[in-house]
Chain A
Amino acid sequence: KAGVTQTPRYLIKTRGQQVTLSCSPISGHRSVSWYQQTPGQGLQFLFEYFSETQRNKGNFPGRFSGRQFSNSRSEMNVSTLELGDSALYLCASSLESPPRNTEAFFGQGTRLTVV
C-alpha cells in the first residue's frame, strides 16, 4: 500500500510570505501528526489531528496552523515566514490517536528554506 505522501518535497520562500504543506496519510489511517525537524532541536511536535479534529498542539506560535479533511489528508500553514522557520517538516500517520500501541509512519518531509 502507498506510504505517507508529503508535497512539495522542497520549497523556497521569502520572509513574510506564507506557505501551505500537504500530507496524505496511509489509506485507513485517521491520525496525522506534524513535526518540525532542525539540526539543533531534533523533532519538535507541532500538532496532531484525528478525524478532522485537532487533538493536541505543541509549543509553536499561532503562525503555525493546520487542518484535516474528511479523507484524512492534512495541511499545515505557516504565515509571516521567518528565517528560523527553515526546517524539514515531517508528517506522520497512524491508525489511532495516542495512546496507541502501533507505530507512526513518516513521510519523506518537506524541506522549507526561508530566505
Chain B
Amino acid sequence: GQNIDQPTEMTATEGAIVQINCTYQTSGFNGLFWYQQHAGEAPTFLSYNVLDGLEEKGRFSSFLSRSKGYSYLLLKELQMKDSASYLCAVEGFQKLVFGTGTRLLVSP
C-alpha cells in the first residue's frame, strides 16, 4: 500500500526557519519529490532526493533517510511569498504518489 504523512498546517514568522516533515510507507521507492503549490496555481518542483542525505538549493533544503522512510523540507529566511502548500511525493512503482500537503502560513 501507499501511505504518505505530512502535517496539515504549520505557521511561522518572516525571517524564521521552518522544517516540514514527511514520512512514507510505499511499495517501491525510486525517489522523493517536494513541490510547492500556491493557492489556485499549479504545483511547481522544488527538490528531488534519491540518495540519503541533504540536498541544498538556495533557501530550500531537502533531506532523505530511506531506511527510516522519512524526509523533510527546510525553508530558511522565510518570506511572505513562501506561504503555500508543500507537497511531498514518492515515486514508487511506476507512479508518483502525493501526500495531502502541508499548508504553511508565514506571518509578518
Contact, CB under 8 Å: B45 / A103: yes
Measured between beta carbons, the chain B residues less than 8 angstroms from A44 are 98
**With A41-B100, A42-B87, A103-B33 in contact, do A98 and B45 touch (Cβ < 8 Å)?**
no
A17 to B95, CA, bound (A): 29
> Nearest chain-B residue to A45 (Cβ)?
B95
- A11 lies within 8 A of chain B by Cβ: no
> Nearest chain-B residue to A33 (Cβ)?
B96
> Nearest chain-A residue to B41 (Cβ)?
A108
The size of the chain A interface, using a CB distance under 8 A, is 28
Shortest C-beta distance, A62 to chain B (Å), equals: 18
- B83-96: CB near A (< 8 Å → 1, else 0) gives 00001010111111
Contact, CB under 8 Å: A100 / B91: yes
- B44 lies within 8 A of chain A by Cβ: yes
- B67-108: CB near A (< 8 Å → 1, else 0) gives 000000000000000000001010111111111110000000
Measured between beta carbons, the chain A residues less than 8 angstroms from B101 are 42-43
Measured between beta carbons, the chain B residues less than 8 angstroms from A107 are 42
Contact, CB under 8 Å: B98 / A35: yes
Shortest C-beta distance, B83 to chain A (Å), equals: 17
Residues on B facing A (Cβ under 8 Å): 30-31, 33, 35, 41-45, 48, 50, 87, 89, 91-101
Residues on A facing B (Cβ under 8 Å): 4, 33, 35, 40-45, 48, 55-56, 58, 90, 92, 97-109
